[in-house]
Amino acid sequence: MTSSSWSTRKSSSPFQPKPELEIEVYAVGDQVCHDLYGLGRVINVEAHAVSIDFGDKTVRVTSPYAKLEHL
């Protein structure tokens, strides 16, 4: 098998590549809504997590922020 025939077979694969996840970017002061905790405000931003003040508690949510919505 030559490299040219391999690239032809590879491009005709029936499997679709997985879509890249879009990771939302948050800033200190952003208002957010969490499925479990409700409305809150971002108080700290790290590389792969954000800390959010929900009034009665502060929660650190890690990326990809599945249950978090930017308001």
- Please report the pLDDT score of residue 4 as a whole number: 54
pLDDT bin (cut points 50, 70, 90) of residue 49 is very high
The predicted-structure confidence for 6-48, as pLDDT tens digits, reads as follows: 555 555 667 888 777 677 899 999 999 999 999 999 999 999 9
| pLDDT at site 43 | 98
Whole-number CA gyration radius for the chain? 20
More confident of the two residues 18 and 60: 60
Tell whether 17 is covered by a domain.
no
Tell me the pTM: 0.69
Amino acid symbol at 53: D
CATH number at 44 reads 2.30.30
Strands (E), 1-71: 31-34, 38-45, 49-53, 58-62, 68-70
For tokens 């930017």, the residue is: 70
Instruction: Answer whether residue 1 is part of any domain.
Output: no
Taking 3-state DSSP, the helix, strand and coil percentages for the chain, each rounded to the nearest 5, stand at 15, 35, 50
How many structural domains does the chain have?
1
